[in-house]
Amino acid sequence: MGNINSNKKRTFAANSHAGKSLKLDTNGMIAGGIVHDFNNLLTTISGYADMIHDELPGGTELFEKVLRLRAAVSRASMLSRQLLQTGDVSSGEKSKVSLNEILFETLDLLKNQAAVNIRFRSDIPDEPVYVYAAQNQLFRIFLNLFTNAIQSMNDRGGLLHVRVSRIPAVKIKPPVRIPGISAFTLITVRDTGSGIDPEVRKRIFEPNFSGRHDISSAGLGLSVVHDIIRDLDGEIRVASKTGTGTIFRIYLPIP
């Protein structure tokens, strides 16, 4: 009887595993089809954007907006391809990348989508600030953080403040200990939104977790942000007060 029960348990476990694998394969096929269709739509949008670009005189406000549209379509195409590689946070070849360029591009992209009662402030040095990363890794980090900040302020408006500075490792409390790194680039993302409950904050970087409507879009996004920053040998920290706002601090090694 013991052997029969043991065999039944093994059979059940095998069937359960097979069922999960089949479900994952099916979900992957569905996601692949959606990504394919989405990329077809992006190709159409890109084609029309190119035609408008070619017919507009340079230097006009509309011309600059079309340039931003083309850049956004290009980013969307890259991100859609990564939907099938959720666990892959490497996002391409790493090199010395200008942090300023990615920050300004992401802010410009979202400013036009934000409500009129949301203000933006950036304290970013004029000289290039370099980090060792793939461009799309940085774009994914800032797109997620800025979008979450904007959504937390949608009801009442507020301020999104982005600041970039250099900080010696010895001044970081509690310390960020990475062998051979004596200084970090600190990116501070501060909003005056609704804030995050303490219990939610403890789990905010867990995959697929969202504890309140105002961070419902965070879930996987903040988990990916956390994993990308770890892949870059950095660290992200969050401080928040309900009703006051949230601060994310990102420490990235200076190459």
pLDDT band (50, 70, 90) for residue 9 = very low
Sheet strands (E) in the chain: 95-98, 118-123, 130-133, 158-168, 183-191, 235-241, 245-253
Residue 229: partners with Cβ closer than 8 Å, 6 or more residues away: 141, 235, 236, 250, 252
Q: Which residue has the higher pLDDT, 163 or 57?
A: 163
Separation of CA 24 from chain center: 24
> Rounded distance, CA 212 to CA 189, Å?
20
Q: Is the pLDDT of residue 74 over 60?
A: yes
CATH number at residue 104: 3.30.565.10
Do 115 and 217 fall within a single domain? yes
Least confident of 81-90, 131-140, 150-159, 201-210: 81-90
> Rounded distance, CA 156 to CA 115, Å?
10
pLDDT band (50, 70, 90) for residue 79 = low
Residue 90 lies in a domain: no
Residue 216: partners with Cβ closer than 8 Å, 6 or more residues away: 210
Q: Which residue has the higher pLDDT, 27 or 159?
A: 159
Separation of CA 12 from chain center: 39
* The domain boundary residue, chosen from 85, 118, 143: 85
> Rounded distance, CA 65 to CA 73, Å?
12
C-alpha angle with apex 154: 148 to 156, nearest 5 degrees? Answer: 130
The three-state secondary structure class of 142 is: helix
Please give the tally of structural domains in the chain: 2
Do 76 and 120 fall within a single domain? no
* The domain boundary residue, chosen from 85, 107, 129: 85
Domain of residue 8: give its range. 2-85
Of the chain, the percentage scoring pLDDT greater than 70 comes to 72
Do 132 and 245 fall within a single domain? yes
Dump pLDDT digits (tens) for 182-196.
Answer: 999 999 999 999 898
Residue 221 lies in a domain: yes
Count of other CB atoms within 10 angstroms of residue 140 = 22
